[in-house]
Chain A
Amino acid sequence: DAGVIQSPRHEVTEMGQEVTLRCKPISGHNSLFWYRQTMMRGLELLIYFNNNVPIDDSGMPEDRFSAKMPNASFSTLKIQPSEPRDSAVYFCASSPEFAEAFFGQGTRLTVV
C-alpha cells in the first residue's frame, strides 16, 4: 500500500497567487482530513470529509480556503488568493471506518 499521497511536497508561490494542494487517500478509507501545522498554532484540523461529503469545515480559516473531494480517491485544498501567513505544512490524512487516521508526508507551502 502506497499510503496517503500528497503533492506537491514543496510549493513556493507569490502572494496573491492561487495554490492547489492535492491528496490521494488510501484506497478503501472513507474519511479524509486536511490539517495545517505551524509553529505558532500547532496542528489544526481544517476540514473533514466522510464518504466524499464535507462534514466539518469549521476549521477553514477564511473564504480564501476551499476544499473539494470529487471522488473517493482524490481531494484538493485550494487557497485563492494566497498570503504569507498561509505559509505552513499542510497534511492530508485518511481513515477507515472506526479506526485511526493515516497521514501523508505533507506539503510545505511558502508564500512570499
Chain B
Amino acid sequence: GDSVTQMEGPVTLSEEAFLTINCTYTATGYPSLFWYVQYPGEGLQLLLKATKADDKGSNKGFEATYRKETTSFHLEKGSVQVSDSAVYFCALAPGSARQLTFGSGTQLTVLP
C-alpha cells in the first residue's frame, strides 16, 4: 500500500538557519503530495502541495519539489524563524482521491 517516510525528529535549529526535512513516498500511480503543519494544540494546516512531477509548491518561504525519479518531496526553508516551531507532516493522496496517508511527523524547534 501507499506509505510516506519522513526524516526522524526532533530537529532543533537556530533562528535564520537553513531547514531541510526529508520525505520519500511509495505509491502506485501519480499521487498528489502535501506538507501540513501542526502548531501546539491545533489541527493540521496545509502548508503547500504539488500535484504532478516537477511541480514546486511554496508558501511562507517554504518550498518542496515533487521528484518522481527519487520519489521525494523534501521541505526546505532558507531562513527559519522562532514562529516556525511546529510539527511538520508529509502526506500523499492517491490520484484524484482526497484521503491522505501521513508520514510520522517531524518536530521542529527554532531557538532565538
Contact = CB atoms under 8 A, between A and B. Distances in A.
Contact of A33 (B46, B96, B99): B99
B104 A42 contact: yes
Q: For chain A, give the interface size range.
A: 20 to 34
Contacts, number: 48
B106 to A, nearest CB: 11
B99 A103 contact: no
A25 interface: no
Given A42-B104, A42-B105, A43-B89, A100 B98 contact: yes
A43 B43 contact: no
A100 B102 contact: no
A33 B101 CA distance: 12
Contacts of B98: 31, 33, 48, 95, 98-101
A100 B46 contact: yes
B49 interface: yes
Interface string A28-61: 0001010000000011010010000000100000
Given A43-B89, A98-B96, A103 B43 contact: yes
Interface of A: 4, 31, 33, 42-43, 45, 48, 56, 91, 93, 95, 98-106
